[in-house]
Amino acid sequence: MKQIVETFVAAFPDCEVLLERRPDDSLLLTLQQGERLVLRRALSLAQLRNRLQLDGVIGSIQRDLAIEAGQAPMLAMLQRQSRLRLPTYALT
């Protein structure tokens, strides 16, 4: 759990990061800047245990915050959003 918090702190250095356990065993992520609430999002344990899914969650939060601030997300950030390789087929 400590490593997950450190990952979120590194991804959002200008925010205070709080992770609270919910009754359904998911976690509530809260990002704050001083007294201002920046974001609250429920995260499943599966999203946090898999590094690829954790990176996807962080990327989607960064994208959402950029859009909310009126900024267009960087192309490189959008390209990282694809998580799975598409299947390829061979003609036989």
23, exposed or middle or buried, with CB in 10 Å at 0-12, 13-18, 19+? exposed
Would you state the structure tokens that stand for residue 14, as one six-digit string?
């200008």
pLDDT tens digits for 50-59? 888 898 899 8
39, exposed or middle or buried, with CB in 10 Å at 0-12, 13-18, 19+? middle
| Predicted pLDDT at 89 | 78
pTM of the model: 0.72
pLDDT tens digits for 3-48? 888 999 999 999 999 999 999 989 999 999 999 999 999 999 888 8
Would you state the structure tokens that stand for residue 64, as one six-digit string?
């959402």
